[in-house]
Structure 1
Amino acid sequence: MIIVTHEMSFAHQISDKVIFMDQGQIVESSTAKQIFDHPQMSRTQQFLARYRGDTDYII
């Protein structure tokens, strides 16, 4: 099943795989654990930093 959401806590809880997109382009695709715990791309890191309220990832 494919679910499109901006609710990150929901996505984190239910997803096996996450595809992070920005302006219609796939930025990063991996397991939910990898995306949420160790995002590789700076755009994903920036987005998740806002979701977490965390400034460690903001570049």
Structure 2
Amino acid sequence: MAQDEKAKAKTEQAKGKVKETLGQAVGNERMTAEGKAEQSKGDARQAKEKTKDAFRH
């Protein structure tokens, strides 16, 4: 389960970065903002999993 959540976090971060970069390239501020939001969501999920791991060890 934890590996699945970590994979989701990485996927969200990557998708967000792509969307942000694409939005910047075409001048679409909404797409850029959505990309940053996805990255933040991935960052939060990753932080949650790291916290869980710290308590497991």
What TM-score results when the alignment is normalised by the length of structure 1?
Answer: 0.28
Which structure is larger by alpha-carbon Rg, 1 or 2? 2
- Higher strand share goes to which structure? 1
TM-score, structure 2 length as denominator? Answer: 0.29
Higher relative contact order (CA 8 A, sep 6+): 2
**Higher relative helix content:** 2
